[in-house]
Structures are given as structure tokens and as C-alpha cells.
Amino acid sequence: MKPLALDGQRGEDGWASGDPKPSRGRPTFQGLFNGAVCVAFVLLIFACAGLFCRVTQMERELQELHRAFTPLSDGAKAAGTPTVSPPDGPAHLPQQNNNNRQVHNVRKRDAEGPTEAPRKRRHKKDKGDRKGKKKCPKNCKGKKGDAGPPGERGPPGPAGNFTSTFAHFKSSGGRAELETDTLNNWILADWANEEGFPVASSGQITVEKPGIYFIYSQIVFYEKHHLLSYQVCVDGSPFLTCNESVENATSDVTGRYKTCYVAGLAPLQAGAKIEVRLPENMFALLFHDTTYLGLIKVADLPSA
């Protein structure tokens, strides 16, 4: 029989009679946690070692590739191979198959001796990218776009060599009966002192400078005829014609006043003759403000 342990005394198994004995069949939570930490630490050590080995292998392969693409001199091989740091990111790493092939080529070249530097290979364009795309013909253009806003107005250009010339002729004689078919009492106005328009005794005016002229003429008639008419002729041919009718003209009426005005543009050569023709035995008011004739050069003749 085993002696009973009193309070505060330990028995043969090392535990006091009052202390609770731990169960030997179930592991505690503290034990499981410590075991998991140990396993994780071991796995982390193995992962770091594998990563270090992989980085070392990649660095060695990149150095061999660099030496393979470095041109060698005819006398000897390159003295040394510079250390090339691998680029950042997995996207820049070469493929494994290409690396093995390049390493094999380098070893073969070292065994054969120095040779010419390898030529760079040209990458062919992927034909698949061009499928479905039409080839643009030579000098092809797209659709025309919209017109842009108007630009600023430029500075005025230099003045041309055009020189204007003019003449204004007034009549004299008062109210008189015209005895000839050509009006021949022209007097050049004092303010129109331009030369180049000589007047003949017959009433013809000569144009000495060629150009495009604005011709105007007016006659104030005092007549009782139903129809009043006169013409401005250029070189003997009618160019401008004015027709007016007198209203309520009777035999007991001495006459009525009627104004007839006409104007137009005419291309005139040097030496052209201008004259005013009207029927004979016509009464007109031959004053400077009632009957007159004028010419103004507005432009040069267009070149042939």
C-alpha cells in the first residue's frame, strides 16, 4: 500500500495531493502554436535559399548572353565580361529556351576560336497584325476636313501705276437753235485742266490715252416735238442714245423744257473720237449747268 500524501507534501509521482494532474493524452494550444511557428520558419528558410539560387543562376545566364553579343577583336577574345544587373520585373526576363540556346552557341564559339561578331537579327513583322487592314495606295488622302476660321486681314498692298485722267466740257450760247447735227460749242471747264483731250472745231474730242472711260452727257431741250433724241458717238458709231417724249405738246404751245441724260463705260483706244449728234433745227439751252459732256478714265485696258 502507498502512503497517503498529506496537504503540502508530494507523493511518489511528484505531485501534491491537492494539485490537479495534467492529462497526458491531449496536446495543449500552446504546443500546437509553437509547432506551427517552427514549421513556418523552416519553410521560409527553404524559400529564401531557393530564391537566392535562382537569382544567382539568372545573373550568370545574363552575363553569358552579354558576352555572346559583345563583338570580339581578331587577335583575342574580350578581356572580361562586365557584370550586368538583371532588369526589374519578370516581364524583362528572357525566355528559358532562348537562354539555353544562346549559352550553347557561346560555348561552341569559344571552342572554335575567335570569329566575326554575330549580326543582329531583324525581327519580321507579324503578318497576323496586318490581316484585315487595307494597304493604303500611293498618295492616298483622307476625307477633307471642315474649313477653318478666316484669318486676319493682311496689310494693304503697294499702290499700282494707274493714273486717272478726266475732262469736263460745258456748252455756251444760251437758248439757241442748233444748225448742225454735231454739237460744236464745247469749252473745257476751268477746274478740269487735264491735258490729252484736244477739241476740234467740228466738235469732236480726241482721246490721247487709252483706257476704260466713264462717259456722261446731258442736254436740256426747249421743244414742242413729241420725241427728243440725241446720241454720243465713238469713232462715228452710236455708243449712247437718249430718247425723251414731250407730253401734251400742241400747236399753240411755243415749247416745253425736257432734260435728257445718258452715261456709260466705254473701252477707248488712243486717238478715239467722241462727239454728240442730234437732229438739226432743235432748240436747246446751251448753258454750263444744262448741257455738258465729260470723260473719266477709271482703269487701264486689259492686256491681251
Q: How confident is the model at residue 78 (pLDDT cuts 50, 70, 90)?
A: very low
Cβ neighbour number for residue 8 with a 10 Å cutoff: 8
pLDDT at 239: 94
Q: Distance (Å, rounded) from C-alpha 10 to C-alpha 3? A: 11
Cα–Cα nearest to 67, from 111, 110, 123, 113: 110
Backbone torsions φ then ψ of 57, nearest 5 degrees: -65, -40
Q: What pLDDT, on a 0 to 100 scale, did the predictor assign at position 34? A: 86
Q: Say if residues 42 and 35 touch (Cβ distance below 8 Å).
A: no
Band (pLDDT 50/70/90 cuts) for residue 140 is: confident
pLDDT at 276: 93
Higher local confidence (pLDDT), 267 or 84 = 267
Please tell me the least confidently modeled range out of 40-54, 155-169, 195-209: 155-169
pLDDT of residue 24: 55
Q: How large a percentage of the chain has pLDDT more than 90?
A: 20
Residue with cell string 420725241: 227
Of 195 and 154, the structure prediction assigns the larger pLDDT to: 154
Q: What percent of the chain has pLDDT over 70?
A: 63
Higher pLDDT: 191 or 240? It is 240
**Confidence category of residue 168, pLDDT binned at 50, 70, 90:** very high
pTM surpassing 0.75?
Answer: no
Compare 171 and 174 and report the one with higher pLDDT. 171
Beta strands in the chain (DSSP E): 166-171, 174-178, 186-188, 205-207, 211-223, 227-234, 237-245, 256-268, 272-277, 282-286, 292-299
What's the pLDDT score for residue 254?
A: 62
Rounded to an integer, what distance in angstroms lies between the CA atom of residue 265 and that of residue 297?
A: 9
Q: Which residues have a Cβ under 8 Å from the Cβ of 151 and sit 6 or more positions away?
A: none
Confidence band for 197, pLDDT divided at 50, 70 and 90: confident
- Please compute the mean of the pLDDT values over residues 85-98 and round it to a whole number: 51
pLDDT at 227: 80
Give pLDDT tens digits for 93-114.
Answer: 455 555 566 666 666 666 665 5
Residue 191 has pLDDT above 80, yes or no: yes
Picking from 80-84, 171-175, 291-295, which range would have the lowest pLDDT averaged per residue? 80-84
Is the pLDDT at 283 greater than 70? The verdict is: yes
- pLDDT of 156 above 70: yes
Find out whether 56 and 40 touch, Cβ atoms under 8 Å.
no
Distance CA 166, CA 12 (A): 153
Highest mean pLDDT among 8-17, 123-132, 258-267: 258-267
pLDDT at position 303 over 60: yes
Domains of the chain: 31-87+94-112 (no CATH), 166-299 (2.60.120.40)
Query: What is the average pLDDT value for the chain, to the nearest integer?
Result: 75
- Which residues, including other chains, have CB under 8 Å from residue 111's CB and lie 6 or more apart? none
| DSSP type of residue 224 | -
Q: How far apart are CA 179 and CA 197, in angstroms?
A: 25
Residue 264 has pLDDT above 90, yes or no: yes
Q: Do residues 235 and 142 lie in contact, with contact meaning Cβ atoms separated by under 8 Å? A: no
Burial class of residue 148 (count of CB atoms within 10 Å of its CB; 0-12, 13-18, 19+)? exposed
